[in-house]
Amino acid sequence: MFKWTIACLFLLSSSQLNAQTKNDSCSLEISLLTCAPGTDLYSLFGHTGIRIRDRQRGMDVVINYGYFDDSDPLFYFHFTNGIMVYSLEAQTFGDFMTEYEVEHRDVVAQVLNLTCEQKKSLYEALRQNADDKNRFYNYQFYADNCTTRAGKMIAAQCQSFQLENILPDPSPTYRQMIHIYLDRQQQYWPELGIDLLLGSNLDKKPGNEQAIYFLPDYLMVGFDHAHTSRGPLVLRKETLLRFSKITTDKVWLTPVFVFSFLFVVSILLSLIRKVYAQKTLLIFDVVLFSLLGLVGLVMLYVWLFRVDEVCRNNINIVWALPTHLVAVFFLARNPAWLKYYFLITAILSAVLLLGFRWWPQQMNIALVPMLMIIVFRSSHLFLKLNHAKDHQLPGKDPRL
């Protein structure tokens, strides 16, 4: 399909375009397509495409920069390391629309108010970009994604338009911008995962142009408010697909609910002096700090080894210390240093909790009950280990 559509594009050669008149009577029409968010993780923020249409030649194709090969056996390894190779692909307009119709996702078209020369220039740039040696690029979450590529391709070839400011006052950070989408779709667990792994660089405030070229809806609104010397950039706006919004049941099994429940359970178990309760607490602590250590290890890895900077300077590693993986192996041995380890852990988490609203990195709200769990269990372990040392007989091994 790709080769066929590229062949269609080549039918509209530069020599044929030069034969057209140099005004808007040329038959070439170019539109920006904005697609609503989907349910898959990669589609949660919507999508952008460029439609090239020529009724005289029967050409109607969509170019977009959002294709990737997830069949690569090393895909997830490369994804973790920030090596995400995306590509420009072309497909017929009918095939493109079928995909979004099946997924019940709205599609809006903005027909661009361009001169014939600008259309020819944009078409030629896309044709060259579609070549195998040019169509691949390294995807970056907020700096160079499929919306960025499409928007800047149009801007580069049609430099005569001006973007108006579309940001509110105060302007949002990158993280706040994506939270709007995730909260609207009740994607609380993906939101937690994003907030855990993406560091403080996501809390920068983009400028107006950076925001417009970041997310599909922002690009659409930005083009709605853009002007050229000939008038508005958008000649007309059409809704190609529209689906009624289905009201979904409220999600109750959220991270806040789960972590709050675990916090209450840990308190109740600590109040029970029975042997079974204390054994359950030991298992709880081993699982808790092991998981925290694993999460911290992932945070440290992506901080150090990702090729981009989106996961660096992550304050979450202060509570998800990778060293927890070592500490859990000594819970039953009670070395002298262990009680101080949990004392430091409790203090660090308490400081994070007290300054939760003021840290330069916005932390996920679900971490409030999680930090309370860490403070409570770390404090409990410090007191327990300290008490055990105080009551140890000289020369007596406490494990006997």
The structural domains of the chain, with segments of one domain joined by +, span: 2-171+206-241, 255-390
Going by C-beta distance under 8 Å and a sequence separation of 6 or more, which residues neighbour residue 137? 65, 85, 86, 87, 88, 144, 149
- The beta-strand segments (E) located in 186-289 are 227-228, 231-232, 234-241
> Rounded to the nearest 5°, which phi and psi values hold at 293?
-65, -40
Residue 183 per-residue DSSP state: H
pLDDT at position 273: 83
Question: Which two structure tokens, joined as six digits, stand for 219?
Answer: 């690009």
User: What pLDDT is recorded for position 398?
Assistant: 44
Q: Specify the DSSP element, H or E, that contains 251.
A: none
Tell me which amino acid residue 109 is.
Answer: A
For residue 366, the tally of other CB atoms under 10 A from its CB is 21
Structure tokens at 376: 């409570």
**How many CB atoms are located within 10 Å of the residue 335 CB?**
11
Mean pLDDT by 10 residues, the chain (400 residues): 45 42 66 92 90 90 88 77 88 94 95 92 92 90 92 87 92 95 93 95 95 96 92 94 80 94 95 88 95 97 91 96 95 89 97 95 97 96 80 46
Contacts of 255 (CB under 8 A, 6+ apart): 188, 189, 192, 364, 366
Give the CATH fold of the 2-171+206-241 domain.
endopeptidase fold (from Nostoc punctiforme) (3.90.1720)
**How far is CA 131 from each of CA 14, 124, 168, 289, rounded to the nearest angstrom?**
16, 11, 40, 51
Q: What local confidence, expressed as pLDDT, does residue 78 receive? A: 79
141: Cβ contacts below 8 Å, ≥ 6 apart: 198, 308, 310
**Count of H-run helices and E-run strands, the chain:** 15, 9
